[in-house]
């Protein structure tokens, strides 16, 4: 555990019943990092985020945030520091977009969800940045999945956290809106926000993350900058898929091109 780390995960293991989902995870996160968590389906990525968010407790090991054990934070105080966007959210009540986003200020409000002009102005600015201001009066259950995803992220941002945990934040967005959301996150990172996000698109992870943690079967397979993590050897072994890795001529980051089996030799196809 690094003394100056904002977040330290030491020897963490977690099980659902008899099934070990994470095994001896060690990870230090420094303030201001943007970390992409990648790996095959079922590798344990979402479980790791839930542990960091405090939704789950490790069976073994410890998680320390800002010098104190995570378990010592109550839910409200932790929410002032860490905001989480899970992979999916249930929405039982027909809140309007504005109502839902402003609710992100709840960790700071002692008046039981009574919000004033300051909170609404803050939410309005974020809605404009994310190009959803025109949706303010719409009920969330009338939005498309992509629109809802942006609303959920806006609520996390209005929470004004130190750390943002995102589980596939752009999975329901087209390429234009994927880039817009990730560029907004990049801007927030420039203001000091620490971000950990699960991304299945390796190229987006490469472009927007300064560090990548590749998880396989509940363990960290490799941890480092994109160029060291996204090698064709790592990807082909972990994902069991043939790829070509090239350098993006603009960003100099690795760019991954999947190769269809129809282009492989007959000998390769039989393996």
pLDDT for the residue 271: 44
pLDDT for the residue 112: 55
**CATH class of the 1-81+161-240 domain in this structure:** alpha beta
SS3 35: strand
Q: What number of CA atoms fall less than 13 Å from residue 167's CA on the CB side?
A: 18
Q: What number of CA atoms fall less than 13 Å from residue 259's CA on the CB side?
A: 16
pLDDT for the residue 114: 59
pLDDT in tens, 22-73: 999 999 999 999 999 999 999 999 999 999 999 999 999 999 999 999 999 9
* Assigned token pair, 58: 């490790």
Residues of the chain with CATH 3.40.50.300: 1-81+161-240
Residue 97, CA distances (Å) to 4, 140, 147, 160, 212 in order: 38, 6, 10, 18, 33
Residues 49 and 165 sit within 8 Å (Cβ to Cβ)? yes
Q: Which residue has the tokens 């596939």?
A: 168
Q: How far apart (Å, rounded) are the C-alpha atoms in residues 205 and 215?
A: 14
State residue 15 phi and psi, 5-degree precision: -130, 140
Q: How far apart (Å, rounded) are the C-alpha atoms in residues 82 and 206?
A: 24
Bridge partners (DSSP) of residue 84 are 165
DSSP 255: E
Closest CA to 171 of 161, 182, 160: 182
Residues 219 and 23 sit within 8 Å (Cβ to Cβ)? yes
Point out the residues of the chain with pLDDT beneath 50: 269-271
Burial of 12 (0-12, 13-18, 19+ CB in 10 A): buried
């Amino acid at each position: 555990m690094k003394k100056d780390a904002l977040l330290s995960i030491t020897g963490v293991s977690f099980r659902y019943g008899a099934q070990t989902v994470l095994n001896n995870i060690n990870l230090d996160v420094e303030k201001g990092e943007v970390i992409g968590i990648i790996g095959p389906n079922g590798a344990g990525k979402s479980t790791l985020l839930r542990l960091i968010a405090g939704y789950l407790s490790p069976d073994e090991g410890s998680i320390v945030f800002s010098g104190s054990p995570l378990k010592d934070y109550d839910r409200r105080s932790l929410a002032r520091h860490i905001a989480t966007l899970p992979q999916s959210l249930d929405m039982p009540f027909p809140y309007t977009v504005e109502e839902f986003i402003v609710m992100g200020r709840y960790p700071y409000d002692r008046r039981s969800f009574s919000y004033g002009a300051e909170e609404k102005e803050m939410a309005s600015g974020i809605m404009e940045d994310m190009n959803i201001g025109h949706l303010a009066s719409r009920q969330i259950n009338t939005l498309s999945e992509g629109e809802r995803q942006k609303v959920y992220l806006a609520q996390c941002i209005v929470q004004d956290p130190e750390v943002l945990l995102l589980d596939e934040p752009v999975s329901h967005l087209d390429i234009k809106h994927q880039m817009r959301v990730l560029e907004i996150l990049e801007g927030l990172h420039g203001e000091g926000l620490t971000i950990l996000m699960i991304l299945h698109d390796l190229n987006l992870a490469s472009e927007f993350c300064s560090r990548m943690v590749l998880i396989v079967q509940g363990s960290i397979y490799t941890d480092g900058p994109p160029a060291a993590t996204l090698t064709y050897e790592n990807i082909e072994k972990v994902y069991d898929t043939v790829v070509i890795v090239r350098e993006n001529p603009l960003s100099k980051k690795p760019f991954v091109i999947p190769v269809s089996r129809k282009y492989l030799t007959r000998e390769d196809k039989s393996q």
